[in-house]
């Protein structure tokens, strides 16, 4: 099974050796120099950093995104997750359902809405989220000791789930750890149920999470904000 088939069928795939080591150093240097608000978990709205936007729109990632979503796939949001011994957290089982939009419009199936750093967000229906893929560029090796992403394979095909349904699936579906080498990429669908534990080592786990969609993937004449 190819990584594109795996992403469509299981909801995720690991693609090693996409970027050379020097590119990972350069990206993190750009984050340190950028004047963006940092949270305990990292940096939101990282498409505002020129080096991140350049990587997101570069051939290596666009080819992966378009192999999964089709021609016309484009990046719309980037987030840095920066987990370390001093900034450590766990994430419970969940799906990623909120999307950044250019304007707020009351449309059935969209919402609730929120405003984050000046950007409108709405929880989206499954039809819109099925047109999205996240490519997680690993700036460090992801190991079983530094809080790697864990997924429940195949759950992206079940639509938007309630908290009770997610809890039930976490007890029934065998989880998979996503161990990705530095410079590698994890492709994942936003509706796959996923989580991560606290890191158990001193080694950082820094991940650049870039999301892609296709034109008219949202329907209802809604447009994604570039974030």
Helix (H, G, I), strand (E, B) or coil at 189: coil
Q: What is the pLDDT of residue 89?
A: 66
Q: What is the pLDDT of residue 87?
A: 66
Assigned CATH for 3-213: 2.60.120.620
Record the tokens describing residue 64, joined without a space: 């992966």
Q: What is the pLDDT of residue 21?
A: 87
Burial class (CB in 10 A: 0-12, 13-18, 19+), 165: middle
Record the tokens describing residue 122, joined without a space: 């709405």
Low-confidence ranges of the chain (pLDDT < 50): none
Q: What is the pLDDT of residue 10?
A: 97
Where are the extended beta strands (E) located within 65-161? 74-83, 91-94, 98-101, 113-116, 119-123, 133-138, 149-151
What is the number of other CB atoms lying within 10 angstroms of the CB of residue 38?
14
Q: What pTM was computed for the model?
A: 0.94
Q: What is the pLDDT of residue 41?
A: 61
Please name the residue that has the structure tokens 């967000």: 121
pLDDT tens readout for residues 170-199: 999 999 999 999 999 999 999 999 999 887
């Amino acid at each position: 099974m190819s990584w594109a088939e795996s992403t469509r069928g299981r909801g995720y795939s690991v693609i090693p050796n996409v970027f050379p080591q020097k590119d990972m150093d350069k990206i993190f240097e750009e984050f340190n120099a950028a004047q963006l608000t940092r949270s305990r978990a990292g940096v939101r709205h990282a498409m505002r950093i020129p080096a991140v936007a350049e990587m997101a729109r570069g051939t290596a990632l666009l080819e992966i995104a378009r192999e999964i979503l089709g021609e016309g796939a484009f990046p719309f949001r980037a987030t840095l997750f920066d987990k370390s011994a001093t900034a450590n957290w766990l994430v419970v089982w969940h799906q990623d359902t909120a999307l950044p939009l250019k304007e707020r419009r009351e449309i059935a199936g969209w919402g609730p809405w929120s405003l984050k750093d000046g950007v409108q967000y709405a929880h989206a229906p499954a039809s819109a989220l099925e047109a999205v893929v996240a490519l997680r560029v690993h700036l460090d090796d992801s190991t079983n000791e530094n809080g790697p992403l864990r997924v429940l394979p195949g759950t992206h095909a079940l639509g938007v789930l309630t908290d009770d349904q997610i809890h039930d699936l976490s007890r029934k579906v065998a989880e998979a750890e996503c161990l990705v080498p530095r410079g590698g990429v994890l492709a994942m669908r936003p509706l796959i149920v996923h989580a991560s534990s606290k890191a158990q080592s001193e080694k950082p786990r820094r991940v650049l999470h870039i999301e892609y969609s296709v034109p008219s993937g949202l329907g209802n004449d809604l447009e994604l904000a570039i974030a």
